[in-house]
Chain A
Amino acid sequence: GENVEQHPSTLSVQEGDSAVIKCTYSDSASNYFPWYKQELGKRPQLIIDIRSNVGEKKDQRIAVTLNKTAKHFSLHITETQPEDSAVYFCAASISGNKLVFGAGTILRVKS
């Protein structure tokens, strides 16, 4: 199937806390999993991606983990800051040169 489920739909955290967003996919052939951040009124931008040959990838305060067996991947943001407030979208590649996006998570970081 062509489905990516993303949870939670909204997430509020205190500045300095960690935030975790989870996605599940259904296509066992999926091998590319990007995460996009969309600030209010701005365009979505890639913040990190992972391919199926690795289980974890880090970039400063952001990390992504992938569990191919369970078909889920997660975005972890540590030491959250107000500028992390945005909508985050996960996505998964599927057969036929397609990319399917999750419904998005609104992250609010309270200072």
Chain B
Amino acid sequence: KAGVTQTPRYLIKTRGQQVTLSCSPISGHRSVSWYQQTPGQGLQFLFEYFSETQRNKGNFPGRFSGRQFSNSRSEMNVSTLELGDSALYLCASSLLAAMNTGELFFGEGSRLTVL
């Protein structure tokens, strides 16, 4: 069974641009959550989708948005990029409808550098 796949793996953008990241969950997993990882800050929760609906959102500005498609694939978008948005963006899928009660399967992440 294929794991969680994230694309692109690496990307470089400049301030003010926008970026779209993609995540394909494990087959059969309907919950997809996104995290921002920066040194010293751990994994900061961005949002979680289940069956194409955003169920939860973290404390990030409106520049961060996402969506989920009918095949459970998810995308996140960051508009008007700032230097501080440079980070590793991880997505995770869960077999369970309640994503906070069982194992999360992470992708390898998309490393975004904003210049």
Could you tell me which A residues sit within 8 Å of B by CB distance? Answer: 6, 9, 32, 34, 36, 42-46, 49, 89, 91, 93-94, 96-104
Contacts and interface: CB of A to CB of B under 8 A. Distances in A.
Given A43-B106, A43-B109, A97 B99 contact: yes
B42 A6 contact: yes
Interface range for B: 20 to 34
Q: Which 3 A-B pairs have the closest CB atoms?
A: A93-B100, A103-B42, A101-B43
Interface in B24-65: 33, 35, 40-45, 48, 55-56
A44 B43 contact: yes
Contact of B100 (A32, A36, A89): A32
B107 interface: yes
Contacts of B70: none
A1 B60 CA distance: 17
A56 B90 CA distance: 29
Given A101-B44, A104-B40, 7 more contacts: A6-B42, A34-B103, A36-B106, A44-B106, A98-B48, A102-B42, A104-B42
Contacts, number: 59
21 contacts: A6-B42, A9-B40, A32-B101, A36-B106, A43-B106, A44-B106, A46-B103, A49-B103, A89-B43, A93-B101, A97-B48, A97-B98, A97-B99, A98-B48, A99-B33, A99-B100, A99-B104, A103-B40, A103-B41, A103-B42, A104-B42
Interface string B86-110: 0000100000001111111011110
Contacts of B42: 6, 89, 101-104
Given A43-B90, A43-B108, A93-B100, A98 B40 contact: no
A55 to B, nearest CB: 19
